[in-house]
Amino acid sequence: MLDRPGAITGAVSTPRQHDSGHKHVAGRAIYIDDMPEPPGLLHVYFGTSSEAHARIAALDLAPVRAAEGVAAVFTAADIPGENDISPTHRHDEPILATDAVHFAGQPIFAVAARTRDQARRAARLANVTYEPLAAALSIEAAKPAGAMVTEPLTLVRGDADAAMGTAPRSLTGQMRIGGQDHFYLEGQIALALPGEDDEVTVYSSTQHPSEIQIMVAQTLDVPANAVTVEVRRMGGAFGGKETQGNLFAVVAALVAKKTGRAAKVRPDRDDDMIITGKRHDFLVDYAVGFDDDGRIMGVDMTYAARCGWSSDLSGPVTDRSLFHADNCYFYPHVRLASQPLKTNTVSNTAFRGFGGPQGMLGGERLIEEIAFATTKDPLEIRKLNLYGPGERSLTPYHQAVEETTARDIIETLEGSSDYWMRREEIDAYNSRSRVLKRGLALTPVKFGIAFTATHYNQAGALVHIYRDGSIHLNHGGTEMGQGLYVKVAQVVAEEFQVDIDRVRITATTTGKVPNTSATAASAGSDLNGMAAQAAARTIKNRLIAFAAEAWDVPPDQIAFLPGRVRIGQQDVPFAKFIGRAYMARISLSSTGFYKTPKIHWDRAKGRGRPFHYFAYGAACSEVCVDTLTGEYKVERVDILHDVGNSLNPAVDMGQIEGGFVQGMGWLTTEELWWDDKGHLRTHAPSTYKIPACGDRPRVFNVRMVHGVRNSEETIYRSKAVGEPPLMLAISVLHALSDAVASVAGHRLCPRLDPPATPERVLQTIDRLRAEDAAA
């Protein structure tokens, strides 16, 4: 702890440890599966489709019902309310399949048994007769028919076609971008307890308790006030529990209400990975016109996404891919289009970055193409095309980029990472090294902060002070490991100037703060920090008024100092002061509310200010590639990232380091592989390879930009940090590409598509050598 002397512990901007750290390490942090099981608990498992697309001709559940330990079996016909959990209410996502299945792994029925093992075994016993239907499994297969799960978006500014027509140089290409499984360590889980009348309480590992509440209510056909949803913590989420918890929660609630017994749904890891959605994979078609210096003149890109069988969040995800197709670069004339394609695969969903990373990869591919075309270093092309000033500051969605943060960060990092000196060293190494080749890349990130669905940008909090001076804090944000709870507690501690240990952090529950938004879009602390601050300030204002009257001093002579309240010349310890306020019948409880200012978005026109502000960063990565096998190692990474005035530098550092490595996994070893029947074959850590400890960069220099406050009025002028660092890992892909390019003397753009598995790297090396030899 680096607390200021005489100051409170856990003040804002101090590197406070995670509030649950001491419990995590001792095995005392309680996750839902760790809660004592109520007597009579039923364990629920899904029977799932083996077919990617088929009509269900017959469903024989008799063997399931007859299996050992089985208490009940449920199908769609048993659902009293709506058989739909579409988060955007498009009515395209049945909880349990009815007449047809739309992807391999789709739940058809749920079986409840005495033990989980019994439920799991029974779930395999159904006899399902399928009549196969034509299945579109890939983007390529879906593109010709062009069936979409939601309305596409087009952003247009200027005349891209005309600009490319007049540009001295132009080129076209295609980029394939892989998806990603969240691989949260704690899988999906829900535990439902039946209550009186129509009431039910659901413990759900969810980023979005209010949505779970609505989904449970509409499934059971009860009002929302009958449903309470609570979550203390998740064992990781990363977007994978924004909507994907709905299925498990509504079925747990259904079983609990139907049987009158507590019900728990917890799929095995493999089933979790098969049933739940992932990061969208994309196919990007691009055309870019530029001048001989490499300055972009016109851009036309189409982002086709494999959305899966239902819309889920694919609309906003694909929208956000377009919002980030520019990254930090000004496109004078631009046309960007999304194609949210319907496929017979799992319904893809939110994942840290929410389409932004894929959008950004497309923009960075343009930079790389131009660099090879003009035989310049990609860093020069990047700097040449940065936003600003004046008329070169307008994004494709007409929001202006007013600050020069990207340029400042790039130039600082360019120096601190010794970019140009290492570029020379690497060229020299590559010319003498026969097998191993090194590569270097420096890429920036600009990420827009706010939900693009404007109404989501609201938050509530509830603060009580008990008469002993202890504080109870609650808000709508959820804790998935990102440190939101401790950050918001720091805000409250700071407001009252009390040690953070006096602030009790409590589980998120729909019963205390209603109508909350998902903890997502990196906006958790921006929104909930402000709401908690508002609640604290309401109470503070009452206390100041009380003190002014009781002590007969002007309000401006009352101050909350560390652990005490200064009233005129007198210091009163906080707890004693609160006791006095209670005796004077002062309300010591308040809600707080916040809505993000300034934002607006007209999707039909493709214009507005969808983002409150931008978060920035840049990374310089160096890799070494084995040209015989395609294997590689990330040798060194230097990061400079902008978090504004950090609420908690330790937590923010964790988000940067962790986000980077997660992004690196997405772009390198994490490969989702479906067979020709539409079965996902990489559905466990034995086959789906997220980075291990030894994959982290050998040298990892991470710094935050110091002393730069957010120019917008955010909570203590901090900046969101959840998602942006993931995209710093794009530098690894480009460094790999740079190393690969060396085998053809940097004459050809490698067009190395992610995930750059060793196989993909070797393929690209071989292709480049063949093309270079032919040229």
Partner 1 sequence: MRNAIRFLLRSEARVLRSVDPTMTVLDYLRQVEGLVGTKEGCNEGDCGACTVTRVRLVDGGLRYEAVNACIQFVGTLDGCQLLTVEHLSSRDDRLHPVQQAMVDCHGSQCGFCTPGFVMSLFALTRHTDHAPDDAAIDDALAGNLCRCTGYAPIVRAAKRMYDLDPRADEITAREAETISALRALADDETVSVEKDRRRFFAPATVEALADLVLAHPDATIVAGSTDVGLWVTKQMRRPATVIYVGRVPALARLAETAEGLEIGAAVTYTDAAAALARYYPDMGEVIRRLGSVPIRNAGTIGGNVANASPIGDSPPMLIAAGATLHLRCGAKRRAMPIEDFFIDYGKQDRQSGEFVEKIVVPVPAQGTRFRAYKISKRFDQDISAVLGAFAVRLEGETVAEARIAYGGMAATPKRARAVEARLTGAAWTEATVRAAMVDLPQDFQPITDWRASAEYRLRTAQNLLLRLFIETSDPNTETRLVGDREIAHA
Q: Footprint of partner 1 on residues 276-335 (CB under 8 A)?
A: none
Residue tagged 């601050």 (tokens): 533
**Using CB under 8 A, which residues numbered 211 to 250 contact partner 1?**
233-238
219 vs 244 by CB, closer to partner 1 = 244
Q: Is 24 in the site for partner 1 (CB under 8 A)?
A: yes
**Using CB under 8 A, which residues numbered 745 to 774 contact partner 1?**
757-759, 762-763, 766
Site string for partner 1, 467-486 (x = CB under 8 A): -------------xxxx---
Coil vs helix vs strand at 549: helix
Segment near partner 1 (CB under 8 A), from 419-427, 507-515, 612-620, 693-701?
693-701
28 vs 91 by CB, closer to partner 1 = 28
Among 121, 335, 464, 641, binds partner 1 (CB under 8 A): 121
Site string for partner 1, 259-278 (x = CB under 8 A): ---------xxx--------
How far apart CA 1 and CA 3 sit, in angstroms, is 6
Among 28, 89, 576, 605, binds partner 1 (CB under 8 A): 28
Among 53, 120, 324, 464, binds partner 1 (CB under 8 A): 120
Among 247, 651, 667, 741, binds partner 1 (CB under 8 A): 651
How far apart CA 638 and CA 660 sit, in angstroms, is 11
Q: Is 125 in the site for partner 1 (CB under 8 A)?
A: no
Q: In whole angstroms, what separates CA 761 from the centre of its chain?
A: 27
How far apart CA 282 and CA 273 sit, in angstroms, is 19
Among 2, 77, 421, 435, binds partner 1 (CB under 8 A): 435
Segment near partner 1 (CB under 8 A), from 18-26, 558-566, 575-583, 704-712?
18-26
221 vs 759 by CB, closer to partner 1 = 759
Q: Is 701 in the site for partner 1 (CB under 8 A)?
A: no
369 vs 671 by CB, closer to partner 1 = 671
How far apart CA 408 and CA 618 sit, in angstroms, is 10
Among 544, 702, 733, 752, binds partner 1 (CB under 8 A): 702
> Quick check: is 723 catalytic?
yes
SS3 content of the chain, % helix, strand, coil (to 5): 35, 25, 40
Q: Is 199 in the site for partner 1 (CB under 8 A)?
A: no
CA angle in degrees (0–180, nearest 5) for 677-679-683: 165
Among 6, 39, 77, 686, binds partner 1 (CB under 8 A): 686
Amino acid at 556: D
Segment near partner 1 (CB under 8 A), from 38-46, 246-254, 410-418, 625-633?
625-633
How far apart CA 706 and CA 292 sit, in angstroms, is 37
Kindly state the smallest distance separating residue 373's Cβ from partner 1, in Å.
Answer: 29
Q: Is 58 in the site for partner 1 (CB under 8 A)?
A: no
Residue environment code for 381-409, b if the CB has 16+ CB neighbours within 10 A, otherwise e: bbbbbbbbeeeeebbbbebebebebbbbb
How far apart CA 129 and CA 56 sit, in angstroms, is 6
> Total number of residues binding partner 1 (CB under 8 A)?
87
Kindly state the smallest distance separating residue 619's Cβ from partner 1, in Å.
Answer: 12
Kindly state the smallest distance separating residue 177's Cβ from partner 1, in Å.
Answer: 18
Q: Among 566, 595, 568, 565, which residue's Cα sits nearest to residue 578?
A: 565
Residue tagged 């009002």 (tokens): 223
Concatenating the DSSP letter of every residue in 655-723 gives: HHHHHHHHHHHHHTT----B-TTS-B---STTTS----GGGS-SEEEEEE--S---SS--GGGB---SS
The one catalytic residue among 82, 230, 403, 723: 723
Segment near partner 1 (CB under 8 A), from 4-12, 181-189, 376-384, 469-477?
181-189
How far apart CA 377 and CA 423 sit, in angstroms, is 10
219 vs 482 by CB, closer to partner 1 = 482
Q: Is 657 in the site for partner 1 (CB under 8 A)?
A: yes
How far apart CA 170 and CA 485 sit, in angstroms, is 50
291: which 2 tokens?
């001048």
Coil vs helix vs strand at 56: strand
Among 2, 5, 6, 25, binds partner 1 (CB under 8 A): 25
Residue tagged 């799929």 (tokens): 267
Among 7, 31, 38, 173, binds partner 1 (CB under 8 A): 31
Whether the Cβ atoms of residue 663 and residue 730 lie closer than 8 Å to each other: yes
How far apart CA 402 and CA 390 sit, in angstroms, is 9
Whether the Cβ atoms of residue 217 and residue 197 lie closer than 8 Å to each other: no
Task: Return the active site residues.
Answer: 723
